[in-house]
Amino acid sequence: MARLVAGANPLSTDATGGADFQGPVSAQGLTLNGGNPLAVPALNINGDGNMTKNPRIPWGVYLKQTSNATGVTFAQWPNSTPMVLKGMFGIALGASGGCSSPISFWIHNVTQNTDSNTVTFANGAGNTNNLTGQSFQIAAGETAQFRYTATRCTTSLFDAIITAEFEPQ
């Protein structure tokens, strides 16, 4: 299969020496000259239009069962790029009961020793409130942990999937 490279078989040229190629175009040691800035590339997937913001990344974790404890870490992510927590939500097969306060979940930044806002499972509820509009930052090289607190529950929350939604920066 022939590959088009800069300088080979342009579809059209103009008076300035510019050329149009049908892609993909690859080049090694490409040098760009001229006074015009290079246009920012646009990403268009299946004709849905150009993306205007960073895609969001879900971090979904499974928790078999809660225990009566405070600040339990049940998942960890060593982060490689700057990102911002935008929201969290959860769903559980079995709801908790008799807790002295709602079971709460949050993201903990190990490096900075800081916590995001929490989402909660109320007594007898199988879904959390959907916490959006967060702006909790995790820098590259920092470690994020999913944590929960459940106090004096007579029935544990079990088979829960908790999801945090991050946006790369």
What pTM value is reported for the model?
0.68
Residue 142: band (very low, low, confident or very high) from pLDDT cuts 50, 70, 90: very high
* Per-residue confidence band for 4, with pLDDT thresholds at 50, 70 and 90: very low
CA geometry: angle 165, 168, 169, nearest 5 deg: 135
Greater pLDDT, 7 or 101: 101
CA pair distance 128, 88, nearest whole angstrom: 9
In the chain, domain spans: 57-168
Give the best-scoring range by mean pLDDT among 79-83, 88-92, 110-114: 110-114
Q: What 3-state DSSP class applies to 162? A: strand
57-168 CATH fold: Jelly Rolls (2.60.120)
pLDDT digits (tens, 9 = 90+) for 30-79: 665 666 665 656 667 677 777 666 778 899 999 999 999 999 999 999 98
